[in-house]
Structure 1
């Protein structure tokens, strides 16, 4: 197992020891667009990327389309992914007549010490989101952090506290908030277009399962000890599915998304992976941003057919298919006293068709077989590897973040919203694991006298030494 002398330091200790070598860093030169348009220094936003896997590569594609963004540095525990990212960034810089530079780091604390960096993207596995975001805020960087906001409820609450204390702009990567079909669905629900909302179907997928991957030898380009970071579980070991490998010559992307998200020891399953999107939109529409459900009942409890969230307003949200003939398609159906609304990526429909603008209607999702999904994924990989496409383009969401960095106004998906959504996802998994209903007070952020729920690992867990959530 590869060790690193500073992998366990908290940021405060690191800052006391890390001044060496940092004085030679310089600010990137002025940016002139290829068409001759010059971006004013006051409008340029210099970024660093932490986490350079598939999502990091995709997000670079989106951020690079935002005028005035410069990318100065990157960080990952896999040295090959560092080199891949640097190569792509410097090719993009050359195409924009920007002086080529993208410094590489294994330790994210070193990147945060850069005085020329205004903002960072945190695109690491979920168990690192809290510490990286907290330390970035303490370093006075604004943050774009991928969803879900955190691995546990306590982490989310601490992230909000630190972001506020340091007056940082934090955007959560729930890019559906910036998509017009979802914005329209929220608008229609809140305008009462389908009457009073009674039920919501939000299909996201299965909860996580126990880690069942065999242990394998750690490749030399990967610091797996640093990848583990604060995770505190002796059953976690290296397997390539957790950290999908790549090649550089020839360049080949990851063949799957990091499987850490599907296991209890390292992630929160589809409940959080897609719940961070669909539960997020559902709560936004019914006015529950910053709040959450009061009663969470797991699937199978007294013949309960679906994981169910009940809000104090009486609205009930169930994790069930929103399209009867497409049980695995992720999306949302709002059911009101006067009709219904269905929404998914690239699709919006309503019982009153006149309420849906033609340009937002899109196409009804296809019920792809597993083989068809695999083929589609492979084609997207080939396209993205050639630089002609991406798995997920979120440019409007990135533009909103950069606009907020400049204006100091709240972004469309601020950290408080990401916190309430992450809490909802964690509560769903807690009820599932406890195999009974869980009561939550969204006002006091507590479980009342339910000591078992308050002691659950998804509320709070002790980090591996020497990591700490509060330093």
Structure 2
């Protein structure tokens, strides 16, 4: 057995105490795991240091060794290295250098959305387990390829939809539904807020330290744009780059794959918990954009172009439940059933079925059953990482595996196609294909820029 394999096995043995516990304060169990496995922890690299990278890395930093950071912005790389490791990690500006390193076991991918699938696929092929931020892909066809490679390589991939690991709100809501307290579900309202708006954003000089060509990567070639927003801090104005990339279809799916990747996810888990079909068959509705569209393509190229407002309805096979995705209601998910309704978001879980728990509590293991029997330590993002480590230890699918994530994310992608074309999109879940609409079907994939194709 190689030295690396020995270290890996030692780490997994030593983190058993961490992953086998039930509802114990995270800081205590993490500290114990670190003390027990000081020289045997997994070697971790963060690819995409800005934004979500630095926000989510401190959790794994408690239980893995952060040995490398990668970013195409030298400023992010410098600041992130100082913040996360006191400047001790190796730094790279090319993710391929990270994937080639034999000493790295786990990578976290926190790049803009258009880079996710390419880096993830190549990471799995390089033998790395991966934690990848949502949304997992930019297109439906990318999801098919990600799933194929995951099955081929057997790598453990956790998607960063940490709401799946919320025990006190989202999983409790799912447990209430699974216990039949709402009865048969009839309607679900998913509130994900409005998308971004901008005026005309002019072409501007690329900021010092940013490799714009590398940042664009597999996406289409386009000039860097920036306009100062007097309502925001300097450097955080209107742009097609950092922080605001998700308002451009070239890089993202807008609010539908941003908050939608969280709340549509819980909504579809709720349908399954009620014992009803969550296999989508169509998406229909209306949307408003910041620009005119022609055949699904924005006519103007100098402003945000993802959907700002939307009122969409998703239908499911063999079920009369209607899922309504809206911008103009409270952020969260409203479940309405024959016996009552509840509302859940990151701040609250309310409704008569929730109030009824005082007199008629759920079974002791109800939430654990919904969660899938994995370790229940901490909550939300912390628990999500512990679940990921547990899945690595046992070589099993984590809580947010790529297969169930893509079934949900395909709904978000179809919603985006519906918004761009302004018409109903029909879907065959068995073949995972758009039905009866050649143009819509062509939007299931996008070409990669030359030199940035996925390396298989």
TM range, smaller chain: 0.7 to 0.9
In structure 2, the residue matched to 1:339 is 340
Q: Which residue of 139, 144, 157 maps to 2:144?
A: 157
CA distance 1:470–1:74, shift in 2 (3 Å): closer
Q: Which residue of 40, 43, 48 maps to 2:45?
A: 48
Note if contact 1:447-1:454 (Cα within 8 Å) is conserved in structure 2: yes
SS at match of 2:417: helix
CA RMSD of aligned residues (A): 3.3
In structure 1, the residue matched to 2:213 is 225
SS at match of 1:56: helix
In structure 2, the residue matched to 1:11 is none
Distance (whole Å) between structure 1 residues aligned to residue 310 and residue 96 of structure 2: 46
Query: Shift in Å at residue 451 of structure 1?
Result: 1.0
Distance (whole Å) between structure 2 residues aligned to residue 451 and residue 211 of structure 1: 33
Distance (whole Å) between structure 1 residues aligned to residue 50 and residue 114 of structure 2: 15
Note if contact 1:144-1:170 (Cα within 8 Å) is conserved in structure 2: yes
Note if contact 2:271-2:277 (Cα within 8 Å) is conserved in structure 1: no
Distance (whole Å) between structure 1 residues aligned to residue 287 and residue 207 of structure 2: 42
Query: Shift in Å at residue 295 of structure 1?
Result: 1.0
In structure 2, the residue matched to 1:75 is 70
SS at match of 2:428: coil
Note if contact 1:52-1:123 (Cα within 8 Å) is conserved in structure 2: yes
Question: For 1:146-225, what aligned pairs fall within 5 Å after superposition?
Answer: 146-180=133-167, 181-206=169-194, 212-225=200-213
CA distance 1:340–1:163, shift in 2 (3 Å): same
CA distance 1:254–1:53, shift in 2 (3 Å): farther
Distance (whole Å) between structure 1 residues aligned to residue 341 and residue 254 of structure 2: 28
Distance (whole Å) between structure 2 residues aligned to residue 144 and residue 308 of structure 1: 31
Note if contact 2:342-2:354 (Cα within 8 Å) is conserved in structure 1: no
Alpha-carbon displacement from aligned partner over 1:397-423 (angstroms, at most 9, x marks no partner): 111112211221211100112211221
Distance (whole Å) between structure 1 residues aligned to residue 201 and residue 287 of structure 2: 27
In structure 2, the residue matched to 1:314 is 320
In structure 2, the residue matched to 1:237 is 223
Question: For 1:238-253, what aligned pairs fall within 5 Å after superposition?
Answer: 238-240=224-226
Is residue 405 from structure 1 mapped to residue 389 from structure 2 by the alignment?
A: no
Deviation larger for 264-273 or 130-139: 264-273
Alpha-carbon displacement from aligned partner over 1:436-468 (angstroms, at most 9, x marks no partner): 100001111012332121112xx1011110222
Distance (whole Å) between structure 2 residues aligned to residue 449 and residue 279 of structure 1: 25
Segments of 5+ residues of structure 2 without an aligned counterpart are 1-6, 15-29, 289-308, 362-378
In structure 1, the residue matched to 2:410 is 423
Question: For 1:87-166, what aligned pairs fall within 5 Å after superposition?
Answer: 87-91=82-86, 101-166=88-153
Distance (whole Å) between structure 2 residues aligned to residue 209 and residue 462 of structure 1: 26
In structure 1, the residue matched to 2:433 is 446
Query: Shift in Å at residue 300 of structure 1?
Result: 6.2
Note if contact 1:349-1:356 (Cα within 8 Å) is conserved in structure 2: no
CA distance 1:223–1:211, shift in 2 (3 Å): farther
Question: For 1:4-19, what aligned pairs fall within 5 Å after superposition?
Answer: none
Q: Which residue of 54, 58, 68 maps to 1:57?
A: 54
Is residue 287 from structure 1 mapped to residue 272 from structure 2 by the alignment?
A: yes
Alpha-carbon displacement from aligned partner over 1:299-357 (angstroms, at most 9, x marks no partner): 269xx982111111221100137xxxxx4531000000000011000310122343457
CA distance 1:212–1:413, shift in 2 (3 Å): farther
Note if contact 1:290-1:416 (Cα within 8 Å) is conserved in structure 2: no
Is residue 273 from structure 1 mapped to residue 254 from structure 2 by the alignment?
A: no
Note if contact 2:107-2:129 (Cα within 8 Å) is conserved in structure 1: yes
CA distance 1:215–1:253, shift in 2 (3 Å): closer
Alpha-carbon displacement from aligned partner over 1:71-113 (angstroms, at most 9, x marks no partner): 110100001111112112323xxxxxxxx83100000000011
Distance (whole Å) between structure 1 residues aligned to residue 314 and residue 265 of structure 2: 13
Note if contact 1:430-1:453 (Cα within 8 Å) is conserved in structure 2: yes
Deviation larger for 124-133 or 441-450: 441-450
Distance (whole Å) between structure 1 residues aligned to residue 235 and residue 201 of structure 2: 21
Alpha-carbon displacement from aligned partner over 1:269-306 (angstroms, at most 9, x marks no partner): 111100000000011111299964211002269xx982
CA distance 1:430–1:356, shift in 2 (3 Å): farther
Count of residues in Structure 1 that have an aligned counterpart in Structure 2: 382
CA distance 1:109–1:211, shift in 2 (3 Å): farther
Segments of 5+ residues of structure 1 without an aligned counterpart are 1-26, 92-99, 322-326, 361-391
Q: Which residue of 445, 449, 454 maps to 1:464?
A: 449
